[in-house]
Structure 1
Amino acid sequence: MKVWIDISNAPHVRFFKDVIKYLEAEGEDVIVTARQFGDIHKLMEMYDIDFISVGKHGVSLYDKLRESTERVYNLVDIINGEKVDVALSKHSIELPRISFGLGIPSLYVLDNEHALAANKLTLPLCDRIITPKIIDMWKLMKFGADPNTIISYDGTSELMHFKSFEYNDNVFDDLNLELKHPKTILMRPEPSLASYLNTDCRKSVLSPIVDELKNVANILILPRFKEQAEIFEGIENVSILKPPVDTSSIIKKSDLVIGAGGTMNREAAILQTPVISCYPGETLSVDQYYINKGLMFRSIDTDEVIEKALDLIVKPHEEIDVKTDDLFQVIIDNLYDLAKNGK
């Protein structure tokens, strides 16, 4: 079986790494393509994944359209002669369009019902869509998804990040961090360059939170790009992490996570590290999943976030038992079935 996997965002590397390793161990032929964006290439090298670099990210709407169009053009030439049996992606714009055009069965993983442009461009073209049960199927149908293609599971996509996770309790020492306070808070700025979030990449909702909490805890910032790192440079008790790093161990080692994005917040919830979401957009269903289970607190009120943070670093929540489906097996089973049956 020949499988094509396209990776378009940094968290997707961790999502697919175990799928790639499993398929290769089974003797399957795996073609991995990845665009140049954020830390994708560094993470691919860190996890020793062979890949073909194709295209890059666009910032403005014009740039996004132009880069995506050029990426489709270049990917078609690569994939056309490969005789691919099945294609797999997570929120890739280009893979479903190419797979549909070349008649390749495609499996699509979705966890953001608010990505309006991406969902309209992809969902009507996918043969199967794997999505968390918490996401309303009717919302996906409004984007053109065939309800017969939707496969729901209990949990969120971040479960995949921990299939082969080995915790490094010495991660802070390995990073040579200067930690003056007994408590440590990891923070992740908002995804300012994403098409679904209209924010200034040179500002962050975390700034006033950092200013207040730096006096009571060590602050670790994991920026998404250079401009975000510059926001927090030179601030006392603030350490800026330079990716790629072992984010999973850092999350588990930290006393609290405050995130203005999504992925890291949900990773913290899975690892049962107290987490506060101050994501400036509309609440995602996958975040609500962990909020409902008492594993995540959400607020966009700065004072409320600070108050809750002070409470959680002193009195973290008790461990909560959460039962989920085996997403890895759901993906593998559907890949093989699609390759065999085509639909």
Structure 2
Amino acid sequence: MKIWLDALTPKQLLLFSYTAKKVEEELNVEILLTSRNTEEIERLNRIIPFRAKLIGSYGKNFEEKLILDSKRIIDLYEVVRRFEPDILVAYPNPTASRVAFGLKKKILIFSDTPHADHAHRLSVPLADWLVFSKFLDKNLFYRYILPKFTKIVTYRGVEELAWTKDYFPNDEPIKKIGLNPFEYVVFRPPERYASYYIWDRNNLTKKIIQEIAELDKKVVLFPRYEEDSLLFKSENVIIIDVPVFGLDLEYFSALTISGGGTMAREASLLGVPSFTFFPGKIHINTALAKEGFPIYRFFELEETLKFIEMILKEPEKYRVDTKKLIKDMEDPSVVVKKLFKNNI
């Protein structure tokens, strides 16, 4: 069997890299892992266990997305046609889905972001399988699915388990940056150029960083784009612009803050208090909070700043031992491996 995986974001690249490693080692398959050529992807691609071939780039507005996605379809076609895969594994991904569908290949789609309307509408109707967590309500996906063509596969877990469950703490990266455990905050700005992102959170972000500075803590900023580094630059902000495994910095942080969801979930799975200031509802985060993981969400600036102050005064008090919570959860990469083993 030949399997093609296409990742559009760092989170997707992490999951598919770990999935590719496990599947290649344990099953008799050939793997092609592809992704897009962005600065962040390029950095991550240097330190993951299974590296991707970078093809195409990323549009920041609807016209750019249309033009660059169209070019990427052609570039992917040339690579994928030569590889001759049996199946595509991707997140909701219009470009890869179109190539796979055009080449008459099977399509398996992961999702934990039913709010990403544009990407789902343009890809999920072409899928043979849609895989998502049991923590998510099926009704959130039904509007995208053609029941005659798409089978649903669910598992009890979250995607971030694929690379967090076997993590062993390593404080070398924080020492190199000159940080001490529990004396800094990991910060991830919002995904401002996603098709579904319609909010402006720059002022809120700056106020949060200012509050952390007033509490005499450093901010370790994982920028999504170059302008993030310029927008949120200040004396107490350390910009990560070299390949660094995020879990190392999250584990030893006093708090992890994300404008999206992935880094907040990673940190909470490690037992580190985290919160997201994403304006919409992230259902998977809500489910993790109900399970007992230390992941939080706030809407108002005042309660957000109060929470930050409370955590940073006694960070170790709010850490949670999550070993028992994780024990009964499923790793999605193992779920996919079982599907392939059974020839899905």
Using structure 1 for the length normalisation, give the TM-score.
Answer: 0.90
Deviations 1:2-48 (A, max 9, x none): 11111111122211222222233345211122111341122112226
From the superposition, tell whether residues 336 and 146 of structure 1 become closer, same or farther in structure 2 (CA, over 3 Å): farther
Unaligned runs of 5+ in 1: none
Alpha-carbon distance, 1:163 to partner: 4.8
Contact kept in structure 2, 1:6 and 1:95, CA below 8 Å: yes
Offset of 1:247 from its aligned partner?
0.7
Where do 1:58-137 residues align within 5 Å? 58-137=59-138
Identify if the C-alpha distance between structure 1 residues 69 and 182 changes in structure 2 by more than 3 Å, giving closer, same or farther: closer
* Cα-Cα RMSD: 2.2
Q: Distance between the aligned counterparts of 1:135 and 1:213, measured in 2?
A: 33
CA 1:237–1:77: 2 relative to 1, 3 Å? closer
Q: CA deviation at 1:200?
A: 5.0
Any conservation in 1 of the 2:18–2:49 contact (CA below 8 Å)? no
Residue number among 170, 173, 198 corresponding to 2:172 in the alignment: 170
Give the residue type in structure 1 aligned to 2:285. Answer: D
Change (3 A) 1:317 1:145: farther
Q: 1:189·1:204 contact (CA, 8 Å) conserved in 2?
A: no
Matched residue pairs, number?
334
How many Å apart are 1:318 and its aligned residue?
4.0
Q: Structure 1 stretch 82-91 or stretch 20-29: which is displaced more?
A: 20-29
CA distance in 1, matches of 2:102, 2:338: 24
Q: Equivalents in 1 of 2:189, 2:109: separation in Å? A: 27
Q: Tell me by how many angstroms 1:125 deviates.
A: 0.8
Aligned residue among 275, 283, 286 for 1:285: 283
Deviations 1:287-337 (A, max 9, x none): 111222342111021111111112123141543542312322111111343
Structure 2 residue 331 is the aligned partner of structure 1 residue 329: no
> How far apart in 2 are the matches of 1:106 and 1:19?
16
Instruction: Give me the whole-angstrom Cα distance separating, in 1, the residues matched to 2:51 and 2:182.
Output: 41
- The aligned residue for residue 297 of structure 2 is 298
SS in 1 for 2:34: strand
CA drift at 1:91: 3.0
- 1:252-263 equivalences under 5 Å are 252-263=251-262
SS at match of 1:192: coil
Q: 1:164 to 1:90 in 2, by over 3 A?
A: farther
Work out the CA distance in 2 between the residues paired with 1:13 and 1:189.
19
- Aligned mates of 1:101, 1:76 — CA distance in 2: 9
**Contact 1:10 1:37 survives alignment (8 Å):** no
Instruction: Verify the 8 A CA contact 2:187 2:220 in the aligned structure 1.
Output: yes
Q: CA–CA distance in 1 between the matches of 2:319 and 2:165?
A: 24
What is aligned with 2:37? 36
> In the superposition, relative to structure 1, how do residues 236 and 75 fare at CA in structure 2: closer, same or farther (>3 Å)?
closer
- Structure 2 unaligned regions, length at least 5: none
Query: Which residue number corresponds to residue 223 of structure 1?
Result: 223
4+ residue stretches of structure 1 with deviation over 6 A?
A: none
Q: How does 1:186-205 map to 2 (within 5 A)?
A: 186-200=186-200, 203=202, 205=204
